[in-house]
Structures are given as structure tokens and as C-alpha cells.
Structure 1
Amino acid sequence: MKRELTLSQLRHLTLESQGLTKPNPFGTGKNAVLTALEQLGYLQIDTLSIVERAHHHTLWTRIPDYQPVYLNELVQERKIFEYWFHAASYLPMKDFRFALPQMLDIKQSTTHYYNADPKVMQYVLDTIRTEGPKKSRDFEKETKKAGSWWSWKPTKIALERLFLQGDLMISNRNGMQKTYDITENVLPQNIDTSIPTDMEFAEYLVKTYLQAYGFTTIKQITHLKTGGLIRKNVEEILKSMLQEGTIQRINIENSPPIFIKNDLLEKSLDNATSSIQLLSPFDNSIIHRDRIKLFFDFDYKIECYTPKEKRIFGYFCLPILFGDTFIGRVDCKAHRKEKEFELIHLHVENTTINLELWLKPFLELVKSFATFNNCETLKLTQVTPSKLTNTILKFNNHG
């Protein structure tokens, strides 16, 4: 039996699936990191460090006692691994086999971006096999020896190519410095390494998105996956799941067909939340910008890649989510040497919600996030609308 859902109920359902509606949704400590990653399906790794990097920020949002060392410890324990989802990501080790098709494609490709010199690739492989795990800078030292016929750049390209085609895995990470090892040395023996069929891969994508978001669309499932075959297979999997009764298809005005898990439809969806979140621009919940625009009426774009003169909100704006409503965004920067966390420009975009409902918890959240960024003081530079500046400063000074 079909159930009619309001837009608000859909928003709550997807935020709950994302772990954004209650404290400690995945538990606490390092175990919560693995639980969260298995629920979300992947965790995007980002190099930008204007504030704490995206992979750490995303987990801190859901795990209050999160420590950045947890991720690398889980890599060392072989419970998670690094590879490509729609971007460089951490993935649950149990899903390793679903990375194999892309590895195979890259291995067979002669035109891929990492078109490394085969001789250098063989040298890199032989060196790691003989001497053990290596960082890219270890090869940089080698290039300075007299008589070296290779240079650091080709060895770095070779490392990346060997990683992407599955001959190497990342066994350790210190910040953005990666350590590479032979895949057979990293991969647990009990991991399934059979290459999934096209239909198995499509089923993995469908189930990953349904689990992580509660409901999904074909466009989201096939995000950045090129070719007609993957879409055809996804449609087949969805059709089969509809026939089994594990999902339902619902239609919302101005939206493509939505596919939703049946077990979620049986839950109470009226538990409104008033929690407040300061999200990373690369948070799983907001990474699909058209989905956020469609279901949350929030038009979001990160502007660090936009020329300065064309930016509207700022270099690194973090979306602010209150309950199931995006009430604004704030351009932030952690000045780590000065131990000062700056709110460069706070944009309050939803002024229909009473400021007193969200401002105090927001400022408490920002202070907590500043501490997570190893900052001790908070600085508010600009507010839009400007008429709110004095009110916000007063709240902050008495908070």
C-alpha cells in the first residue's frame, strides 16, 4: 500500500539516514567511525584545510568524540581502505570487490590521466616489493643520487597509476602524506576479490544510496557514472526491488521518480528535530547539489574554485542546517598560528525562523568546532543582514 509523504517527512527521513537528527547516531569512539562509514557508503577525502579537512569534519558532525587518528587506525587495521567513489574516498573494506571494475578499466587503459612510464612503474613495484612500504618522498630522495635516470615526478605518477589500477594500496597516512604497499600485503585474506558482474555493481550502487539516504533517484545513483549500460542496469535492479516489495516508487511534484525503502515507510516520520549542524561542503548529505536544491530548497555551491570577483558568499562557506531547514551559510577560516577561528561572513538566509530558537545552539556549535580546529578564540567579522550583527554579537558575548 502506497503511503503519501510530505516534503518535510522526506527531509527528516533522509537526514535520519545520514545520521543528522540525533546525538551519537552511530555510537562513540573508533567503532562509531566504522559504523558511520558502512552506513554512508563512502567518505570523501579532501585536501583543502581552510578548516579541518572534509573527511574529519564529516565524521565530527556525527560523532561528538571523534578523533582524527581514528581513520588512519582503521586503515592500519584493514577495516577501511582508500579508493575512488565519485572522488577520492575512504570505503568499507567489505565493499572492496566493487572497486575492482574501475581498477581493471584503468589497468587496461592506455589513455588514462595517470599514463605512467611502464619502466618506472615496474621499478616502483619492484622497490616496494623488495624494500617494503614507501611514500612518494622516499623516491624523491632516490632521484638525487648520482646516475639516476628517473625523476621524482614520473615515480609519483607511477605510484598513483599503480594505486588506481589496484597493484598498490594505501597502508598508512600521515596528514596528506600517503604510504603505499603491495595490495596483497594490505588486503585481508577473507575479503572477496571476485569481480562483480555489471548487474552486481548496479545493485551495490542502488543499495548503497538507499541505505545512506533513505530514498534516492536514478540520477543520484548514476552520479558521474558514464554510459548508458549502468543506467539500464540500475533501472533493472530498481524494477526487481519494486516487484519484490523492498522499495516503493513515489512521485513528487517537480521531481523525478523517487525510490524509497519500504521499511522506512513503516516508521514514524513525524519526529521533528531542532538540532543544528555546521556541515562540510563535501558532507555526504549535501554533496548532491541538485538533490539539496530540489528537496531542501537550498542552492549551494562551494566558491573556492570561483574567481574572487565572482564569489557571492565567500571562499569556503559551510552550510548551516537547523532541523530540516538550511537557514544559511558561513564563510570560515581557522587561523591556526593565532589559534583564532574566524567567521568571515555569516549569511542568515532564512529569517522566518525565530533567531532565538537557533542562535545560542549555533554559537555553542561554532565554539565546539573551533576547538576541534585547535583554535581558542572566536572572531565574527561580518553578518548579512547587517541589522542582525549587534544581536548576534550580544548573544556571543553572553554565551
Structure 2
Amino acid sequence: MTEALSIKQARKLVLLSQRLPARKQKGTALSATLSAIEHLGYVQMDTISVIQRAHHHTLWNRNPRYQPNHLDALISSKQVFEYWSHAAAYLPMRDFRYSLYKKQAILSGDQSHWYKRNHQVMKEVLSRIEKEGPLMARDFDGDGRKLVAWQHKSAKMALENLYMQGDLMVSSRVNFHKVYDLTERVLPQEVNTTIPTDEEYARYLIFSYLRANGIAQLTEISYLLKGIKPLISLTLKELVANKEVVPVSVKGIEYYSTLETLSLLNRSYQLNKLHILSPFDNLLIQRKRMQSLFDFDYLIECYTPEVKRKFGYFSLPILWNGQLIARMDCKAFKDEARLEIFHLALETKLKKVDDFIFSLKKTLPLFMNFNGCETMVLHKTTLNNKKVATSLK
């Protein structure tokens, strides 16, 4: 029998599963960061740096003690690794074997990546790393000891192909540039390197998604994963039959969950806690899901021509009172230690504006500190596309 959830109950399950707000955790700040990555399953990376990069931002919202050097430390200690989820991401090392499913598909030619393979260049690149140790793409530019001129670009493509098919891993980063090394030199000896079966991989995808997101549709679990939807669909039917997964409905739409997740409905949480989120936060990755569950129509506009932008270059969704209720386009001018909020846009569904502003004022100093800012300037606030007078001081 399918259990019907109210939209309020569905949102509660989603937010508690996403650890928003963050749970109180014992142990070190670094262990709390690792716990967040292991719980979420991945944290998407991004290069945009108008504020702290997305991977730092996402983790900061799950761990108030988070520091940007945590990821380097976890990579160095081999508790986290880089690979592809639906996009470039940091993943927990405990889940390494599940990355082999995609790597094997790429190696066998069942899946393709961006670049065509030049097997000769790939062989030469791999040979250099075997002999010289970890190398960056720029190490293949330069003098005649290295690849000849026409191969320079091919070498960079070869590095990515070798990385995607599993011969290489990212051992570290220098100024956010990848340093590649042989997989066997990066992996801890105790890591399981057996390729998962179809059933194991499907179960991993399903339960990882449900653990981190509370409820899910079939299309959400298989989001941007090529050729996997039929397998997930079949596995879901088996899991429902075995009562390991339970069907639920929200607004007449079928979702899946687990009994453990549904028990979260009995837990209390801080509705009035405010979170300034990254556009690439795990909660927000799937825009259609946010439209359906949170009535939040979000488009990141940094890829939109400036004249067509409605909210700004990099507007940050704001979660408050269990809803996505505003967005804030801003930039951290780190040299001047100043945060400039170009546009604070309030959603029309926001009714308690004064209470929201009060909560935002409490959170902004923490956000400023996270971004290395000491002062703040607010340029414009709008509600329903109309300017409103607002002070955040």
C-alpha cells in the first residue's frame, strides 16, 4: 500500500536527509566533514569563485566548523577521492569500488567520455607518470624532452581519458589544477577493487540516493547516468516486493523511500534555521525536483547573457522555515574583505518578511566570515520584481 505524504512532510524528510540544518556532531571538525561526504555520497566540484567554491560551500552548510583545507587533508589521507558522479565530485573512499562500474564501461567502450582516444599518446603519458611520478597537464608543455608540439593538447586529453577509465587518479591539486598519479599508487591497500555486479551497483545507487535525499522518483535516482534507468527500475520493483523500499506519494506523484527514512517524521528540527546555499548544493542539483517539492523555480544565470538575467550572475538560494524563500546574488571581494550583495530577491510566497530578515541578519556574519569578509554592502532588495527598502545592518 502506498503511503500518502503531505508536501510539508515530504519537505521535512528531504531536509533532514540532507542534513539541513546540520546535526550536532562529536569529534573533530575534519571527521565531521568526512561524515558529511559519506552521508551525502558525493559533493559536486565547481570552478566559479565569486564566493567560496561550491564544494566548500556545500560542506560548510553541513558542518559549521568546516575549513577549506579539509578536502585536501581528506584526499591526502586517502579517505576521499575525486571522480565523476553526475559531474566532477569528491566521493568517499569507502565507495570506491562503485566508481569501477563506470570506469569499466568507459574502458570497454560501452560508454564514451568527451575526448576521443589516442592510444599512442595515452601510452606515452602513462609511461611518463610511471617513471617520473605524479604530473600535471602543464608538465606536458615545454621543451623537447617531452611530447612534440602537436601532442600537447592530445596529452591533456589522454590524461582525462586515463583518469576516466581508471588508470590514473587525482593524487592532489595545485591551485585547483589536477595532479595525476597511477591508481595503484593512490589507493589504500585495503580498498575493495572488485567491480560490482549490476544488482550491487543498482542497490548502491538507490540506497545512497534515498539516504541523502529522503524520497526519490526513478528518474531522480538515474539522473544523468547513461543506460542505467532500466536496471534501477527492475531493482526498485524487487526492493518494493521485499519491503526494503516503500512507495509513497506526494501530490499524487509516486516516490520511493525506506521505513528508516519515514521514521524521521517523528524527529523535531529547527524550521527557522536559515541556510544560504550554493547553486550546486546537493539539495538543489535537480531543478525539476525543487520545482515539484519546494515550488522553487531556479536557474543559475552565470551562463545566461547579462541582459537576460533576472536575479544576477550567481544568485544563491536561501532556505528558511522549511522553504526555499529567497535568492541572493553576491560576490566576495577578498582583497578588500568586503561582501557585496547586488540583489536580494524575495519570493512572493514569503509572508513573514521581518522574521526572515531577522534570521538573515543572524546568518550573514557567519557567511561573511566563511568568505573572508568583514564588511557588507547591500545594493538592492526586491519582492515580486519591485524594489523594497531593506537594511541588513
Would you say same fold, with TM above 0.5?
A: yes
TM-score by length of 1: 0.91
Aligned length: 389
Find the counterpart in structure 1 of residue 174 from structure 2: 174
8 Å CA contact 1:24, 1:64 repeated in 2:
no
Distance in 2 between residues matched to 1:111 and 1:35, nearest whole Å? 32
Deviation at 1:10, TM superposition (A): 1.1
* Match of residue 308, structure 2, among 310, 314, 338: 310
What whole-Å deviation, never above 9, does each CA across 1:248-280 have from its counterpart, x for those lacking one? 11223352x111111222344473521100000
Find the counterpart in structure 2 of residue 240 from structure 1: 238
Find the counterpart in structure 2 of residue 323 from structure 1: 321
Deviates more, 1:366-375 or 1:106-115: 106-115
Distance in 2 between residues matched to 1:165 and 1:248, nearest whole Å? 35
Deviation at 1:288, TM superposition (A): 0.9
What whole-Å deviation, never above 9, does each CA across 1:205-249 have from its counterpart, x for those lacking one? 10111111111110101101233xx22221222222222222211
Distance in 2 between residues matched to 1:357 and 1:128, nearest whole Å? 57
Find the counterpart in structure 1 of residue 143 from structure 2: 144
> RMSD of the alignment, in Å?
2.1
Find the counterpart in structure 2 of residue 101 from structure 1: 101
**Equivalent AA in structure 2 for residue 108 of structure 1:** S
8 Å CA contact 2:101, 2:195 repeated in 1:
yes
Find the counterpart in structure 2 of residue 261 from structure 1: 258
Shift in alpha-carbon separation, 1:149–1:293, aligned structure 2, 3 A? same
Deviation at 1:190, TM superposition (A): 1.4
Find the counterpart in structure 2 of residue 55 from structure 1: 55
Find the counterpart in structure 1 of residue 377 from structure 2: 379
Long gaps (5+) in structure 2: none
User: Aligned runs of 1:1-399 on 2, under 5 Å?
Assistant: 3-24=3-24, 29-109=29-109, 112-140=113-141, 143-145=142-144, 149-150=148-149, 151-227=151-227, 230-255=228-253, 257-269=254-266, 271=268, 273-350=271-348, 352-385=350-383, 389-390=388-389, 392-393=390-391, 396-397=392-393
8 Å CA contact 2:314, 2:330 repeated in 1:
yes
Which secondary structure state, in structure 1, belongs to the residue aligned with residue 369 of structure 2? helix
Distance in 1 between residues matched to 2:146 and 2:47, nearest whole Å? 34
Distance in 1 between residues matched to 2:6 and 2:190, nearest whole Å? 44
Distance in 2 between residues matched to 1:61 and 1:312, nearest whole Å? 26
Distance in 1 between residues matched to 2:21 and 2:362, nearest whole Å? 17
Deviation at 1:285, TM superposition (A): 0.5
Which secondary structure state, in structure 2, belongs to the residue aligned with residue 226 of structure 1? coil
Distance in 1 between residues matched to 2:27 and 2:307, nearest whole Å? 44
Deviation at 1:28, TM superposition (A): 5.0
What whole-Å deviation, never above 9, does each CA across 1:47-96 have from its counterpart, x for those lacking one? 11111100000001111110111111111111111000000001111111
Deviation at 1:327, TM superposition (A): 1.1
- Which structure has more relative contact order (CA 8 Å, sep 6+)? It is 2
Long gaps (5+) in structure 1: none
8 Å CA contact 1:22, 1:275 repeated in 2:
no
Flag as ranges the 4+ runs of structure 1 deviating above 6 A: none
Shift in alpha-carbon separation, 1:190–1:45, aligned structure 2, 3 A? same
Distance in 2 between residues matched to 1:73 and 1:49, nearest whole Å? 21
Deviation at 1:388, TM superposition (A): 6.7
**Equivalent AA in structure 2 for residue 145 of structure 1:** G
Distance in 1 between residues matched to 2:17 and 2:221, nearest whole Å? 16
Which secondary structure state, in structure 1, belongs to the residue aligned with residue 301 of structure 2? coil
Distance in 1 between residues matched to 2:172 and 2:146, nearest whole Å? 31
